Each structure stands twice: as C-alpha cells, then as structure tokens.
Structure 1
C-alpha cells in the first residue's frame, strides 16, 4: 500500500487478480462515459472499441508492463490511474477515473500524485498525459498539480496534451 489518502481512503498498486472486478468496473465506467462524451455512446462493454474492451475484460494483460494504482474505501475500489511503462525517460498517465459518488474528496489528486511519485522513484524526467478538452475539471486538477500544455503527440481533435517535469 502506498498510504492513506484520508482516514477513509488508501492507494495501492494493483496486483493482477487482487480486486480485479473493482478495477474492471472502474475501467468500464471510464470507457463508457468517454464514448458517450465523444458522441458515440454504446450500450455496454461488449460494444466498446476492441482496444478499450480488452482493457476492461483483462486489465492484467492490457496493463502488464504498466503500474496500475487503485484507490479504495472500505476495501472497495473507488478510483484508478495507469502509469505506462517508461520510454525515453518519460511515462504517461492514463485512465484516471474516480467513481462519481466519491468525487470532490481528493482521490483523483492523490492518485495522480502517487503516479508522479512512482515516476520520480524510477528516475524519469517527465510524465505526460492527454485529456479531452471538455474535461475541464480534470484539466484544472492537472494544472494545479504542475502539468502544463505541451505540443500534441496525438492528432485526434479535441485532445489536449500536458506534461509534468520531474527534474
């Protein structure tokens, strides 16, 4: 365990089968909501694009080289974030999601800070991420935590790229 977020929450590294269903539920909610926000809602996980469906169905395989951090309250997964395998001195944060009923309590910020700490410990020079422009609350969080807009590495419309220097 990385430690408590508050007396009620803790963050730990996800270890394969440990709490698999909780992580799968968080990833499913993330992807279903994202597809809805992009204007292409789907009725369920089976209808997600293959890449995203694979993450939900088998997060252990999808993120086998990455670090998956999970926030828990009373043993239940309430938030997650993925720190990708490092390449060229940097990693990427993706799939930040907190159950809507748990938002506003510092869980998302604690997950991002835990991912940044892992990246620092690994000696990386920076962490980057991409976020949809309409996710203004997430963008504000990232900026408060030291991320700044950078040149895009992704050509998709409405995607904003940010980076956080670690050294």
Structure 2
C-alpha cells in the first residue's frame, strides 16, 4: 500500500522522463475513464485509439517537447499534467489526472498551480485547455484558477475550451 503522506510535484521535460515513471499507468486510467464517460467503454488499453496508446506506451516520445508534471506519493505516481511547448506565446494544459484514491487532497490544484508557474517562468502569455462539459468539478477548478470559456478551437461536441493570461 502506498503511503498517503506528503505529495511531491516533479517537473521534467518529456524527453527526460525516466523510462519507468508511472506516467503510463496514469495516462491509461485517464484515457480509459474518458472513453467510458463518452459512452464508448473500453476495457483494455489495446482497444484505445492509436494516439492514446502511443502516449501510454511511450510518454517520453509523445511529450518530448512538452513539460510533464507528476505528483508522487513516495515511489508512486498519483497525478499528472502536461504543459505543451509554447506556440506563438501560448501553451496548452493537457491530461490533468489524479488517481481516484488520492482525490480530495488538492493534488489537481497543486499540479495546475505548478503548470501556471512554469508557464510564467518560460514567458508564456496565455495558457489554454479543453475539458469535457460533464467534468463539472474540473471546470470549477479551472474557473477558480482564472480560466474563462473562450471560442472553441476544437470541433468535438461537448468540449469546453478555456484560457487565461499568465
């Protein structure tokens, strides 16, 4: 059993992730849950779309140009978030996920705060993200951090696009 004591947030360039970092398992849980919420229950990672399987199989390659934040409790990865490399002064936050056994402890808030601090340190002017409209808890979290709904850059139904200046 994992000690549920102190949580550490680690920030690494994707290409510098250790081979076994626990990120793949977090990404698998994230994608499996998302597909189920979309009404396309997938029982195994092998049945996920190719782009998601690629992230799970090799996060170092999938996020090589990005920064990956991982929340750790002891040796276990319990949360993650990806900040994309800036393009025209804008970065995107992706894959915010906390292991359900560790929810309610502020881990998502810590990851989001660390992501915004990273964006500020690197001179990013705007951070954006997209979130499914049924994830009301996540939307409320983003709003608490100053994100507002903006015009969509993604045409998927039920996807809410948000951004905030850094």
TM-score between both structures, scaled by the size of structure 2 = 0.93
Provide the residue aligned with 1:3 in structure 2: none
Structure 1 runs of 4+ with >6 Å offset: none
1:1-167 alignment to 2 at 5 Å? 8-14=6-12, 15-17=16-18, 19-20=20-21, 22-166=22-166
Structure 1 runs not aligned, ≥5 long: 1-6
| 1:75 shift after superposition | 2.0
Structure 2 runs not aligned, ≥5 long: none
| 1:158 shift after superposition | 0.1
> What is the alpha-carbon distance in structure 1 between the residues aligned to residue 107 and residue 99 of structure 2?
10
TM-score between both structures, scaled by the size of structure 1 = 0.93
| 1:42 shift after superposition | 1.0
Q: Tell me how large the CA RMSD over aligned residues is.
A: 1.3
| 1:18 shift after superposition | 5.3
Give deviations 1:125-163, integer Å, cap 9, x for gaps: 010000000000000000001111111100000000000
Give deviations 1:12-37, integer Å, cap 9, x for gaps: 024322543x1110000000000000
